[in-house]
């Protein structure tokens, strides 16, 4: 089986043992060391480590002091954590359709979705490539909106040389399958000293010092054990990213011209870090997306459907009063992509033989 992802954190053994031997495994000096390294990677002044990527989104929204009825515009094609975080923060969700070329929120659709209640724009940098921040950032500034970047899949990605997570408040996931992992974990990035201070207090039960409570806070802390797992990966992020980029290039060259298959694009000015390599299986392909996924699985090639539905198209969100009037049919591009998207292995541990097998098998089952 060629897996869709491989997790290898053996380089962290020495640091993990160091933490275990110290006898202090909660948030401590290793977390600070991880934060400093992450801030350098993201090109921001501050990196605040938390216990997962969803927490990062929730905390980022909470420190903006949103009021009931305040709106957050985001993508309808994303992992459910994006939506859940907005709902948990008590804000109203508004969606804007995506573009097919980058799978990210469409600036033109955002412009039409802004109302006088809109306070936050939350673009999702999907699959490892940023949204069009060249248009989205000025649009947010024009309307006085705060920008929270859902950068869960985009550590190391950039737009015209500016890193994902540095256009406003960046929120990253360090889940097991991400390009950088701490097993579970998240990071919030910002250049704003005051916001960084509020986030650090909020994540520690609202304490600035022990039993000195300043706000009603939470336990959003990362442990030193988790930080120890992530530090060695940050030191070789460029190497890991280069391997993903080489694999993606090989896949795109090999799959080009396959009938009914649309390979992903790297758009001008963007550094794609290839968290996922996602193709679109069009309506005229020899097999449907789901049929292709089943055929590849049967032949030992891992694959994933990220994501099978628009984010709110589940019974648990039906009629939710914080999603005013959202209907699947209002987002035709997102709906089309949800029906056609299929991710193939692109991780750094693929061999040349693996890549050849993936390409040959996909072309074979699609009748190329």
Q: Are residues 187 and 246 in the same domain?
A: no
Q: Are residues 279 and 141 in the same domain?
A: no
Q: Are residues 71 and 200 in the same domain?
A: yes
Q: Pick from 250, 339, 251: which is nearest to 292 by CA? A: 339
Q: Are residues 15 and 161 in the same domain?
A: yes
89-135 per-position pLDDT tens digit:
999 999 999 999 999 999 999 999 999 999 999 999 999 999 999 99
> 317: domain CATH number?
3.90.1150.10
Given 216, 232, 248, the domain boundary residue is: 232
Q: Are residues 321 and 182 in the same domain?
A: no
312 is a domain residue = yes
Question: According to the model, what pLDDT value does residue 325 have?
Answer: 75
342 is a domain residue = yes
Q: Are residues 31 and 97 in the same domain?
A: yes
Q: Are residues 204 and 247 in the same domain?
A: no
Q: Are residues 118 and 219 in the same domain?
A: yes
Of 110-114, 205-209, 219-223, 319-323, least confident by mean pLDDT is 319-323
Q: What is the rounded CA–CA span in Å between residue 31 and residue 253?
A: 41
Residue 178 appears among annotated catalytic residues: yes
248-297 per-position pLDDT tens digit:
999 999 999 999 999 999 999 999 999 999 999 999 999 999 999 999 99
Indicate if the pLDDT at residue 368 is higher than 70: yes
51-89 per-position pLDDT tens digit:
999 999 999 999 999 999 999 999 999 999 999 999 999
Given 200, 232, 264, the domain boundary residue is: 232
- Structure tokens, 68: 């009931």
67, 178, 198, 249: the active-site residue? 178
Give the mean model confidence (pLDDT) for residues 181-205. Answer: 97
Binned at pLDDT 50, 70 and 90, residue 319 comes out as: low
Q: Are residues 101 and 23 in the same domain?
A: yes
Please provide the average confidence, as pLDDT, over all residues in the chain: 96
Q: Is the dihedral of CA 218, 204, 73, 314 positive or negative?
A: negative
143-178 per-position pLDDT tens digit:
999 999 999 999 999 999 999 999 999 999 999 999
Q: Are residues 45 and 181 in the same domain?
A: yes
101's CB contacts (< 8 A; 6+ apart) are: 265, 267
189 is a domain residue = yes
pTM of the prediction? 0.97
Indicate if the pLDDT at residue 326 is higher than 90: no
Contact 345, 354 (CB under 8 A): yes
Q: Are residues 197 and 50 in the same domain?
A: yes
Indicate if the pLDDT at residue 45 is higher than 90: yes
* H or E element, residue 50: strand 46-50
351 is a domain residue = yes
Q: Are residues 223 and 299 in the same domain?
A: no
3 is a domain residue = no
209 is a domain residue = yes
Given 232, 266, 298, the domain boundary residue is: 232
**Total of domains in the chain:** 2
Give the mean model confidence (pLDDT) for residues 212-229. Answer: 96
Beta-strand pair 169-173/146-150: parallel
The beta strands (E) that lie in 64-198 are given as: 71-74, 92-95, 118-122, 146-150, 158-159, 162-163, 169-173, 186-190
133's CB contacts (< 8 A; 6+ apart) are: 123, 159, 162, 167
> 157: domain CATH number?
3.40.640.10
User: Cis (ω within 30 of 0) for the bond into 307?
Assistant: yes
12-34 per-position pLDDT tens digit:
999 999 999 999 999 999 999 99
5 is a domain residue = no
- Measured in degrees and rounded to the nearest 5, phi and psi for residue 115 equal -125, 180
In percent, the amount of the chain with pLDDT more than 70 equals 99
44 is a domain residue = yes
| Residues linked to residue 212 through DSSP beta bridges, in sequence order | 209
Indicate if the pLDDT at residue 320 is higher than 80: no
State which residues form the domain around 161: 10-232
């Amino acid at each position: 089986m060629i897996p869709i992802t491989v997790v290898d954190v053996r380089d962290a053994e020495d640091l993990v043992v160091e933490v275990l031997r110290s006898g202090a495994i909660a948030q401590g000096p290793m977390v600070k060391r991880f934060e400093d390294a992450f801030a350098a990677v993201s090109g921001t002044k501050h990196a605040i480590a938390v216990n997962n990527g969803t927490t990062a989104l929730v905390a980022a929204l909470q420190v903006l002091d949103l009021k009931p009825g305040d709106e957050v515009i985001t993508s309808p094609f994303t992992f459910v954590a994006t939506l859940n975080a907005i709902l948990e923060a008590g804000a109203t969700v508004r969606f804007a359709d995506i573009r097919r070329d980058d799978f990210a929120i469409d600036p033109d659709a955002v412009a039409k979705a802004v109302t006088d209640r809109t306070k936050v724009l939350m673009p999702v940098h999907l699959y490892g490539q940023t949204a069009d921040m060249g248009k989205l950032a000025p649009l947010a500034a024009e309307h006085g909106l705060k920008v929270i970047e859902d950068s869960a899949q985009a550590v190391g990605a950039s737009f015209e040389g500016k890193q994902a997570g540095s256009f406003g408040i960046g929120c990253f996931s360090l889940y097991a399958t991400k390009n950088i992992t701490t097993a579970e974990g998240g990071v919030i990035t910002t250049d704003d000293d005051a916001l960084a201070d509020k986030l650090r207090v909020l994540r520690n039960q609202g304490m600035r010092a022990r039993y000195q409570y300043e706000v009603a806070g939470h336990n959003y802390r990362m442990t030193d054990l988790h930080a120890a797992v992530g530090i060695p990966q940050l030191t070789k992020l460029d190497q890991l990213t280069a391997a993903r980029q080489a694999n993606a290039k090989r896949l795109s060259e090999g799959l080009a011209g396959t009938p009914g298959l649309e390979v992903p694009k790297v758009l001008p000015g963007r550094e794609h870090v290839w968290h996922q390599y996602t193709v679109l299986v069009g309506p005229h392909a020899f097999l449907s997306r789901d049929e292709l996924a089943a055929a590849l699985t049967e032949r030992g090639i891992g694959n994933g459907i990220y994501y099978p539905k628009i984010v709110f198209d589940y019974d648990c969100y039906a009629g939710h009063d914080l999603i005013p009037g959202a209907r699947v049919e209002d987002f035709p591009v997102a709906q089309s992509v949800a029906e056609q998207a299929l991710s193939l292995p692109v991780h750094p541990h693929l061999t040349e033989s693996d890549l050849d097998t993936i390409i040959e098998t996909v072309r074979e089952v699609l009748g190329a």
